[in-house]
Amino acid sequence: MNARGASKFFGSRNSKNVKSPLFHSMEPTGPLEQVPLTRKPSNLSVISSSTATSLYWSSSHQYHLENIPDDVLREIANWCNPATNLRVSLACKRLAILFRPYLYNSVDLAYTDLCRAGLKVFSQRPTLTRYIKILILKPNRNSGWTKSLDKSIDEVWIIDVLQNIASQGDLPLLTTFKWYGKELPKDSFWLTLRTHCPDLRNIGTSVGQKTLQAFKSDDHLFAFRNLTGFHLYTQVVERWTMFNYQMERDLPETLWEMLFDSQALEELTLDGTCFSDANAWNLKPVFSGRWPGLRRLALGNVFYDDSTDNDNSVCKFLQEHSNLEQISSLGNMSYSPTAMACLVSLPKLQTYRGKLQQLKDGGGLTQIRNIILTPIC
């Protein structure tokens, strides 16, 4: 049964004998067959459980849920948002099992208690992690705020749990992993991900005082290849406690080799901002990179003066990356008036994230649709 046939199931929500349909037809645009398959409908929703338990093909043919083929239900799930899929999966065991790939496709454990609860479940039921493609962890996210209600969590325990799950082959579909902890995970963790997650192409991690300048050329973090995204940064809260560091320390050559070899790179974040106006890392080599498909760029402070040579480096880099859609100025990063003029002239730029003072040199911002103002930190 195709999408045209499936849509007729949803058109009978007003039938007298209907008790609990799961979906209804789109209104006011009409049934599903009138919606182009190139665009997902935005208003598919779940009907209250107090309505009918069966779906109707027509006034003379009744179809129960168990009569709907799995492929039709999967097609429905593919067109629905995560919240809708979650509610539908609660209807019965069959749907709960069938919808698992859509429920666990992207997992964002956004605070400490959620990390603790989620990882306990995954450690006891590792089969659930086999559906995860995107995994984002934010343990101890608010640890720097005195009024935070979050209890601290052992980040070493988190990494050990994930490393064990990955080493058992239970993260086979993972494509994106981002870590927002206090410290960089141990190096063997990255080796495990690289070995057992063959599709992993987008990685990100925060660093803390202990790991800020502890990188080595043979770190497994820098042994990935063909990345589509790479993100290395200090936490906004934790950076205020970072006093002991060497300004603009060179990052290992293996990091730059990894990035320069990743010609399919679409996202890049590099931000070593610490307590003062200084950057802990020398980020100037980034302007030597050329990534034709780069769409999102986020940089911490790179230059400390507005020299002509620096402006030329920035402008040349921006001109070579005309597909950029989003640029973020992190930490103390700032663009000179000349560089800012090059930035806003990018033909596809839609989003700028940075401090308000940067916009005074922006000139015409006609093509930019989103401006996100950040604090001075």
| pLDDT, tens only, 187-199 | 999 999 999 999 9
| Model pLDDT, residue 47 | 44
Of the candidates 98, 123, 157, which is a domain's last residue?
A: 98
What percent of the chain clears pLDDT 70, i.e. is strictly above it?
A: 73
d(CA 68, CA 51): 18
Residue 240 pLDDT greater than 70, yes or no = no
CATH number at residue 134: 3.80.10
Whether residue 310 sits in one domain with residue 191: yes
Whether residue 299 sits in one domain with residue 219: yes
Average pLDDT over residues 23-31: 33
- Residues 258-297 pLDDT 10s: 999 999 999 999 998 876 656 788 999 999 999 999 999 9
| Model pLDDT, residue 202 | 99
CB 78 within 8 A of CB 98: no
Range of the domain at 119: 102-373
Contacts of residue 281, defined as CB under 8 A and 6 or more positions apart, other chains included, come to: 248, 249, 250, 251, 270, 272, 300
Of the candidates 98, 133, 155, which is a domain's last residue?
A: 98
Average pLDDT over residues 202-226: 92
| Model pLDDT, residue 252 | 95
d(CA 210, CA 287): 28
Higher pLDDT pick, 127 / 57: 127
Read off the pLDDT band of 226 (50, 70, 90).
very high
| Model pLDDT, residue 48 | 42
Residue 8 pLDDT greater than 60, yes or no = no
CB 55 within 8 A of CB 65: yes
d(CA 353, CA 229): 18
Residue 186 pLDDT greater than 90, yes or no = yes
Higher pLDDT pick, 342 / 242: 342
Closest to 75 (Cα-Cα) out of 14, 175, 15, 6: 6
**Most confident range, picked from 30-39, 72-81, 365-374:** 72-81
| Model pLDDT, residue 362 | 63
Whether residue 240 sits in one domain with residue 214: yes
| Model pLDDT, residue 341 | 85
Whether residue 218 sits in one domain with residue 106: yes
Whether residue 116 sits in one domain with residue 72: no
Whether residue 197 sits in one domain with residue 48: no
> Which helix H or strand E contains 250, and what residues bound it?
strand 249-250
Residue 29 pLDDT greater than 90, yes or no = no
Six-digit token string for 85 = 């899929």
Whether residue 131 sits in one domain with residue 51: no
Whether residue 167 sits in one domain with residue 85: no
Whether residue 106 sits in one domain with residue 87: no
Read off the pLDDT band of 49 (50, 70, 90).
very low
What stretches of the chain show up as alpha helix (H) in DSSP? 3-9, 70-79, 82-89, 93-98, 100-103, 112-124, 155-167, 187-196, 253-261, 308-319, 337-344
| Model pLDDT, residue 336 | 82
| Model pLDDT, residue 16 | 38
Of the candidates 73, 98, 123, which is a domain's last residue?
A: 98
What percent of the chain clears pLDDT 90, i.e. is strictly above it?
A: 43
| Model pLDDT, residue 276 | 60
Q: How many residues does the chain have?
A: 377
Read off the pLDDT band of 211 (50, 70, 90).
confident
Residue 54 pLDDT greater than 60, yes or no = no
Q: Phi/psi at 279 (nearest 5 deg)?
A: -110, 135
Higher pLDDT pick, 29 / 333: 333
Whether residue 162 sits in one domain with residue 62: no
Give the Å distances, CA to CA, from 87 to 22, 90, 161, 313, 337. 9, 5, 29, 52, 51
Whether residue 140 sits in one domain with residue 250: yes
d(CA 286, CA 274): 19
Average pLDDT over residues 319-346: 88
| Model pLDDT, residue 37 | 38
* Mean pLDDT value across the chain: 79
Closest to 112 (Cα-Cα) out of 149, 83, 63: 149
Worst-scoring range by mean pLDDT, 43-57, 143-157, 166-180, 309-323? Answer: 43-57
How many C-beta atoms lie closer than 10 Å to residue 205's C-beta? 21
Closest to 9 (Cα-Cα) out of 95, 69, 93, 78: 69
Whether residue 84 sits in one domain with residue 182: no
Six-digit token string for 263 = 């010609």
Proportion of the chain in helix, strand, coil states, percent, rounded to 5: 35, 15, 50
CB 207 within 8 A of CB 242: no
Closest to 139 (Cα-Cα) out of 197, 184, 187: 184
- Residues 316-332 pLDDT 10s: 999 999 999 999 988 77
Higher pLDDT pick, 78 / 142: 78
Count how many domains the chain has. 2
